[in-house]
């Protein structure tokens, strides 16, 4: 905590800008990018520790939110259901977040992150509030996305067990990369 990991994710995700230097993501200089919201919608999927689902929207509607600006805007229901099926949540599509377990809510957040086929998923402590069984399922899904769909996963964690599942580990201390 306080080392700059979340700030790094925010910079990669074009939510924050550095005071100096430049940020290049997927070959694009984000400092020169005119439409950062379009970049985020097309290239980036976000998964947060606190899933940030909208409580008065159904699971299906929560997954559809990013699709209003993406390639699936004309087929949102079908795309959202496809993702919910992939994550084992199709039968919960009409439920509200309050009716789901913590693991189910996190899988909805993953479905939402995948909505527009991002090339990069930024995950900030995505398993921090889950039990070990659910954590393992979530991490297996993320690894599958990386292997089978060529999605880059940038995951921030304090948990060495979670980090050990990564194909590459980069350590940050006091705002500087110290290993990896």
Mean pLDDT of 43-66: 92
- Angstrom distance (rounded) from CA 161 to CA 151: 21
* pLDDT in the model for residue 49: 75
Strands (E) located in 8-161: 24-25, 28-29, 44-48, 120-124, 152-156
Instruction: Judge whether residue 180 has pLDDT over 90.
Output: no
Q: Which domain holds residue 72?
A: 5-179
Q: DSSP readout, 33-84?
A: -S-HHHHHHHHEEEEESS----TTS-HHHHHHGGGGGSTTTTSHHHHHHHHH
Instruction: Judge whether residue 60 has pLDDT over 90.
Output: yes
The tens digit of pLDDT for each residue in 102-151 reads 889 989 999 999 999 999 999 988 887 777 888 888 888 889 889 988 99
Instruction: Judge whether residue 61 has pLDDT over 90.
Output: yes
Q: DSSP readout, 82-97?
A: HHHHHTT-GGGTTS-G
What the block records as the tokens of 34 is 């005119």
Confidence at 46, pLDDT banded by 50, 70, 90: very high
* pLDDT in the model for residue 33: 67
Is the distance from CB of 117 to CB of 41 less than 8 angstroms?
Answer: no
Give the domain CATH number at 98: 3.40.50.300
What the block records as the tokens of 55 is 């409580």
Taking all residues of the chain, what is their mean pLDDT, rounded to a whole number? 88
Confidence at 22, pLDDT banded by 50, 70, 90: confident
- Pairwise pLDDT comparison (46 vs 30), residue with the higher score: 46
Instruction: Judge whether residue 1 has pLDDT over 70.
Output: no
Number of domains in the chain: 1
Is the distance from CB of 13 to CB of 74 less than 8 angstroms?
Answer: no
Mean pLDDT of 64-70: 89
- Angstrom distance (rounded) from CA 114 to CA 120: 9
H or E element, residue 171: strand 171-173
């Amino acid at each position: 905590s306080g080392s700059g990991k979340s700030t790094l994710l925010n910079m990669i995700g074009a939510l924050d800008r550095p005071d100096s230097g430049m940020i290049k993501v997927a070959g694009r200089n984000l400092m020169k990018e005119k439409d950062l919201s379009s970049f985020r919608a097309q290239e980036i999927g976000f998964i947060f520790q606190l899933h940030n689902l909208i409580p008065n929207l159904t699971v299906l509607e929560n997954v559809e939110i990013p699709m209003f600006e993406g390639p699936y805007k004309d087929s949102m229901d079908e795309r959202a259901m496809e993702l919910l099926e992939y994550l084992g949540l199709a039968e919960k599509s009409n439920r509200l977040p309050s009716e789901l377990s913590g693991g189910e809510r996190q899988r909805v957040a993953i479905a939402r992150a995948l909505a527009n086929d991002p090339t990069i998923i930024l995950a900030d402590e995505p398993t921090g509030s889950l039990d070990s069984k659910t954590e393992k399922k979530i991490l297996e899904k993320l690894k599958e996305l990386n292997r089978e769909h060529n999605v880059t996963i940038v995951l921030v964690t304090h948990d060495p067990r979670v980090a050990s599942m990564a194909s590459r580990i980069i350590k940050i201390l006091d705002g500087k990369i110290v290993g990896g």
